[in-house]
Each structure stands twice: as structure tokens, then as C-alpha cells.
Structure 1
Amino acid sequence: MSSSNYVEFLNINKSYDGRSLVVDDLNLTIAKGEFLTMLGPSGSGKTTSLMMLAGFEAPSSGSIRIDGRSLEAVPPHRRNIGMVFQNYALFPHLTVAENLDYPLRVRKIARQERTRRVRRALDMVQMGAMGERKPAQLSGGQQQRIALARAIIFEPDVVLMDEPLGALDKNLREHLQLEIKHLHERLGITVVYVTHDQSEALTMSDRVAVFNAGKIEQLAPPSELYERPSTAFVAGFIGENNRLVGEIISGNGEEYGVRTQDGQVISVSSRAAFSRGQPVIVSLRPERLYLDQAAVCTNRFSGSVDEVIYLGDHRRVHVRFGDNAMLVAKIPNAGTGVDIAPSQSISLGWDSQDAVLIPA
């Protein structure tokens, strides 16, 4: 069995009513030791896909395999899969150490080995002194660390995480994102992670599968998803995005001319093939838009500042140009020296390689 096809979803369909598909012809392979995130809005099929891998839901059709073995007749407790949920799912009447010991006792592991593994798992999540406490005596972040330790203590083939950090505050969530990422790197375990938080997916993952209406819109490493989204949905869902709608008026497979709906002509670099007259969307990230430095850009325009919003480390500047187009720029507050105020006239621009062409 190839390590690049360790977990396989093969032609998976899932319907609850026999008519509409919650998961629509899912084909996905996950490498051994990979951290793959299923990202998407509510109802996109990501959690259902995770639950089918765990065995809590059955596919309507298709096959799921781990290491070449079909899971069709394998109940959840026989799949050797660790699970981490948003609500921790710890036994309140057991101590932390007893919570970790439980999955080992169920597997009839000897007492001495269980004690060693519990101690090691507690140290791994920096909770070595908390073994005798009950879950109610721990903070939310501490409980989630214990839930994570319990999921990996029996050395599962795969660890599944369903919105595990969703109940935590922003600072703690960001801290635990890095802890989980570093733990994954140390142990080399295969992780399938579900979230609707785009920054979480970009921070933690080797690859991200972006789900929409039961299908994967794009599967790629985080940097490619952000820099080169392949569909309008991905461009809008991953990070902030300026969208200009237009059509191809010239091009040769490297540089294309696009006329926008309000008549502006812009240049966009793309290796993808587009034809003259084809409707397209030009996707431009706010941090790629230059203000008062347009002379050095491939695309240069004049505009007026509509609004400036102060956000600490940067400002969001809303700029109107052309007949009715509005673009948002992100301007760092340190090191730029650009003075911007509402209603002022301003030059704006971006380089052709900084925008992305997407079929409309």
C-alpha cells in the first residue's frame, strides 16, 4: 500500500433523504503522516465526511479505506481511530489520568505499560502535574489538551478532529493551533481536521480540502489556496478578496487583457488557457493593492478614498475607481509613510502577476 494513499475516499456519496446529496462523489486520498484539513461553511459536507471515516455514518455508496483495508464492515470501535471533539467528551467522574487510562484498559494493555503511556501522554501535552484532577477542575484549554492526549495515547492509525478549538477564546485557540501542529510534527501521526475557520486551516495544514455543497472545490497546500484559488468560491472563502468581473479581450497563455464591466482594461498573468470573449473574475488580495505607489505597477489607475478603517497593525482603505468599482487595500501602519484620508484623490495599482484569473 502506497503511503500517499493511506486514507482513501472512493466515489463516496451520502444522502439522508434519497434525493439530495450531502456528499457528492467524493474522491480523496490522504498520505500517511499528513495533516489534512476539511474546510468549508456549515452544510458543505465536511463533518459528514469525517463521521463516515469514523464509522458514525455510513456512505450511501462508495468505499472508504485505511491502509488498503475497506472499512465497510468495521464498527467504529474497531477502526483504531482517535477522535477529538469540540465538547471534550471527557468522563466527569474520572480523574485526568483515569480518562487517559480508559482506552488502554479497553484494549487490555498491561498495567505497567498503561502507567508509562499515561505519564508520557500527560507530559506530551504539558499536563504532567494534572493527573489527579477531575475535568471540572480544569480550564477549557486544559480539558482540550487532555482530550487530545486521550485520542493519541493508544497509538491510532488516524486521529480525527471535529472543530476541536471552536469553544475556546481567540488567543487560546491560536496557541493550541500551534501546539497541535507541533505535536503532529513530533509524532508523525495522520490527522484529518474539520473546521470552518480559514485561518486555522492555513496555519495548521499540509493540505486543505475546501468543501462546498458536498464537493471539494480545491485541494491544495495553504499557500496555493491563498495565492492561486481555482474557483470564485475558494477565492472568496479563503481570506479577503477583491473581485472584478469582466471578459478576456486579448492574451496568449501568459498575459491576458481583461475589460471589466465598467470598461477598465487590466492586465493579468496566468498560465491557464482562456479564450477571447470568455467571462472571467479577476481576484486581487487587499495586501497586493498599492496606494500612492502606482507608478511602479503594471496596472495603474486614479481613484478616490471612500473610507479608512484603523485596525491596529494596518488600515483597511476602501477606494472607489472607474464608474462604480470599489477595491479594498490593506496598508501596514508601520514603515509605509503613506498618509491617507477619506475623500482624497489617490493613485492605485497592482502588478499583473499579483492578481488571479478565474473562469466566471
Structure 2
Amino acid sequence: MEPGNIVEFVGVQKTYDGRTVVIENLSLSVRQGEFLTLLGGSGSGKTTTLMMLAGFETPTRGHILVKGKPIEHLPPHRRGIGVVFQNYALFPHMTVAQNLAYPLRMRKRSREEIQSKVGKAIEMVRLEGMQNRRPSELSGGQQQRVALARALVFEPDLVLMDEPLGALDKTLREHMQYEIKQIHRELGVTMVYVTHDQSEALAMSDRIAIFERGAVAQIASPQELYEQPASVFVAGFIGENNILSGRSEGTDDSGRGRVLLDCGRTVRMRSADGFAEAGRPLKIAVRPEHLVVGSAARDRLNQCEGKIADTTYLGDHLRALVDIGGGQTMVVRKPLLDFARPPVIGEKILIGWNEGDGRVFA
């Protein structure tokens, strides 16, 4: 086990029926004290990975190490891991204080220690005065705070969270993201968090592991994933991206790669990977915020003319879908001030970007 890691998955496979592989040869490390998010769509394997670490699922093959020791055969209550579920999983017949005391009583802590730790946990999640209420008397956000406090009250080294904010409204969800991140910073506890929400993962994580069909497509910091995706899948999954198909036309005199897009326009990109073989199929990815429109586009190396296919007003900015031909569309997302006037459907528009504003994938 590498120094600095608290968890390691080593060649882990999971199948439920012996035929369909849910997790395939997973090797994944979690660093001590980090906030790692497992991000992916439905069926990608992220929740199964978390449940194997928690002890509610057993690997078909491979090993899971915590602090260097295999734990795959230990029952959940002997792993010393805190777990927070989406449905809170609070005991409905117990008060807040009783729910928080439960993990401590199971560990046979003294009455004085239980009272002290429960009091501190209630303060930590700011539920003072609510210790005698039952879960049915709390809001969704308050119940989630209790669930979080219960996972932390016995001071575990590792806390797992399975889509814990999925049932909350947008405003409360964003507030709880901040609260969880603050608690993480204050306690220094290692957190492994599962979500399918990209913006949530970007906002909260030290690192993100993107799952695709039972394997990790890329694991990196939010900034690296966003700016340097390792594959077309990652480029399209993290944030909004324009993925355009084309073919290589080799490189120009300055070493820039030339791509003939399916719309018939040739563009030049800084990355020369994959350009050696003329005619080779390529994809390019350009973020909507890197695009400029109208007169500003004439100053860019790459230019595409298209027609407005749809517009969406988003308050501080406008999102426009532009048909550039050849069955391809591009999304432009700009402040309203960037448009001389609000664009209308069917109107022609010029889009521009520079060679370093995107990524190329063979």
C-alpha cells in the first residue's frame, strides 16, 4: 500500500450473476484526508464500489485494503467506517440524540463519553435544541444533518456518502454542499462521496473518479478533468462540451493539426496527437464558454458559420444552439451583453475559437 493512501482497491471485480460484470478489474486509491467523489451515470458502478467499501456488497474477486489490511470479509460494523445514505436511514422511533448515541452504544462507550460526543455532534451540524425531536419532526435538510452527524460521531477515519443530497431542493442542496465541505476541512476526515451530479462533484471534491461501465475512465482534480479530459467520454461527461467529428488533414507549417469537420469546414488545433495519419477519424471538443460570436469571431483562427436553431434565456447569460451543417450543432453560452441584440431562430451567426481552446481525440 502506497504511503498516504487510506484505501486501495486492488484488481476488484464484481458480478451478481456470474455473467454480467458490474465492476471490472478496478484499481483505485483513496488518499488520507481527501474528499474523493465517485461520479458516473446510472449503472456505471460507482455505488457498487462504495457499497463494497462499506461492506454491504462483497467483491467477486480482488482485495479492498483499508490502512493496509484486507477488509472484504469483515462485516460492516467491524470496519469502523461512517456511512450516510440518500434516504437518511434514521431510526424513526428514536430522538435525534438517541440516533446519534446509537453507534457509540454499539461500541460500548461510557455514558459520559456518549453524552459529550453527542453534544459536540449536535453543535457541529447546528441542531441545538432539537436533540429530543424524532426524525418525522425534522425537515429533509435537518434529517440529513442528523445522518451526517451520526456517521461522524464515533470519529471514524473514513466516511462514505451515497448521494446524500439527492432528495433536497436546489437551494438547500447547495447549502449542504458547503456545510459538508466545511466539516471535511475542520475534521480532516477522509470522505468518499457518490453522486451523478457533475456540478456537485466539481464544487466539493479534491479529486473526482469518473466511472464508465464498471471502470474508472479518469481520476484527477476537478480543474484537470475539466480542462484536460483524457477521453471523449470524460470531455462530454464533465460540464457541457461541443464534441465535433471530422478527419485529420495532417499538420500545417506551424505544427498545428488540421481537422476537416463533417460540416465541411477545416479547423486547426494546437494538439498534434493523432494528426500524423491523414484521413484518420478524429473528434474535437470545445467548451461553450471558449466560443465567441459575431464580430469578435473574425479575430479567431477557427470560424464556423451557422444558423440559430434554439435559444434559452438563463438570466445572466444566453444559451444558443447553432446548426453548423453536416448534422452537427454547437452550443454557445455567453452573457447577454456579448450579443448586439438577442438572436432569433433561423438567424445566421458566426462562431470563432482559437487553436488552443479545445482538445483533440483520436
- Which TM bucket (shorter chain)? over 0.9
Question: Structure 1 residues 261-270 or 296-305, which shifts more?
Answer: 296-305
Which one of 297, 318, 323 corresponds to residue 321 of structure 2?
318
Deviation at 1:217, TM superposition (A): 0.9
- Name structure 1 gaps, 5 residues minimum: none
**Corresponding residue number in structure 2 for 1:115:** 115
- SS of 2:194 mapped into structure 1: strand
Alignment partner, residue 297 of structure 1: 300
The secondary structure found in structure 2 opposite 1:41 is coil
Shift of 1:263: 2.2
Once residues 238 and 180 of structure 2 are traced to their aligned partners in structure 1, the CA distance between those partners, rounded to angstroms, is 21
Counterpart position of 1:81: 81
Q: How does 1:6-85 map to 2 (within 5 A)?
A: 6-85=6-85
**Are the aligned partners of 2:274 and 2:361 in contact in 1 as well (CA < 8 Å)?**
no
Letter in 2 for 1:263: G
Alpha carbons of 1:156 and 1:217: their partners in 2 closer, same or farther (altered >3 Å)?
A: same
- Aligned mates of 2:340, 2:225 — CA distance in 1: 30
SS in 1 for 2:104: helix
Aligned-pair Cα RMSD in Å: 1.7
Equivalents in 2 of 1:308, 1:72: separation in Å?
51
1:191, 1:330 → 2: CA distance? 34
CA drift at 1:262:
2.8
Identity of aligned residues (%): 51
Residue 308 of structure 1 aligns with which residue?
311
Structure 2 residue 157 is the aligned partner of structure 1 residue 157: yes
> Conserved in 1, the CA contact under 8 Å of 2:262 and 2:326?
no
Deviation at 1:356, TM superposition (A): 1.0
- Relative distance call for 1:262 and 1:295 in structure 2 (3 A) is closer
User: Is the contact made by 2:38 and 2:192 (CA closer than 8 Å) also made in structure 1?
Assistant: yes
- Aligned counterpart, 1:351: 354
Give distance in 1, aligned partners of 2:91 and 2:127. 17
- The aligned runs of 1:1-360 (5 Å cut-off) are 2-251=2-251, 255-270=256-271, 272=273, 274-277=275-278, 278-292=280-294, 293-333=296-336, 335-336=337-338, 338-342=340-344, 343-359=346-362
**Aligned-partner residue type, residue 304 of structure 1:** K
Q: CA deviation at 1:21?
A: 0.7
**1:99 aligned counterpart, secondary structure:** helix
CA distance in 1, matches of 2:38, 2:156: 20
Q: Which stretch of the first structure deviates more once superposed, 2-11 or 101-110?
A: 2-11
What amino acid is aligned across from residue 200 of structure 2 in structure 1?
A: E
What is the SS of the residue equivalent to 2:84?
strand
Aligned AA (1:255) = R
SS state at 1:112 partner: helix
Identify which range, 294-303 or 21-30, moves more after superposition: 294-303
Compared with structure 1, are the counterparts of its residues 314 and 211 closer, same or farther at alpha carbon in structure 2 (3 Å cutoff)? same
Deviation at 1:265, TM superposition (A): 0.8
State the AA in 2 paired with 1:148: L
SS in 1 for 2:338: coil
- Looking at structure 2, the residues matched to 324 and 352 of structure 1 have their Cα atoms a distance apart, in angstroms, of 23
Task: Supply the distance in 2 between the matched residues of 1:104 and 1:272 (Cα, whole angstroms).
Answer: 56
Using the TM superposition, name which of 244-253 and 211-220 deviates more: 244-253
Contact 2:52 2:72 survives alignment (8 Å) = no
Measured after TM superposition, the shift of residue 302 of structure 1 is: 2.8
Aligned structure 1 segments of 4 or more residues deviating by more than 4 angstroms: 271-274
Q: Say which SS state the counterpart of residue 321 (structure 2) adopts.
A: strand
Structure 1 pair 73–304 and aligned structure 2 pair: CA distance change class (3 A): closer
CA contact (8 A) 1:3 1:32 kept: no
- CA distance change for structure 1 residues 254 and 60 in 2, over 3 Å: closer, same or farther? farther
The residue type equivalent to 1:320 in the other structure is D
Conservation of the 8 A alpha-carbon contact between 2:162 and 2:195: yes
By how many angstroms is 1:47 displaced? 0.7
Q: Displacement of 1:323 after TM fit?
A: 4.5
SS of match in other structure, 1:327:
strand
What amino acid maps onto 2:313 in structure 1? Y
Residues 108-153 of structure 1 show CA distances to partners (whole Å, capped at 9, x for unaligned) of: 1111121111111111111122111111110000000000000011
Provide the TM-score with structure 1 as the length reference: 0.95
Distance 1:272 1:186 in 2: 43
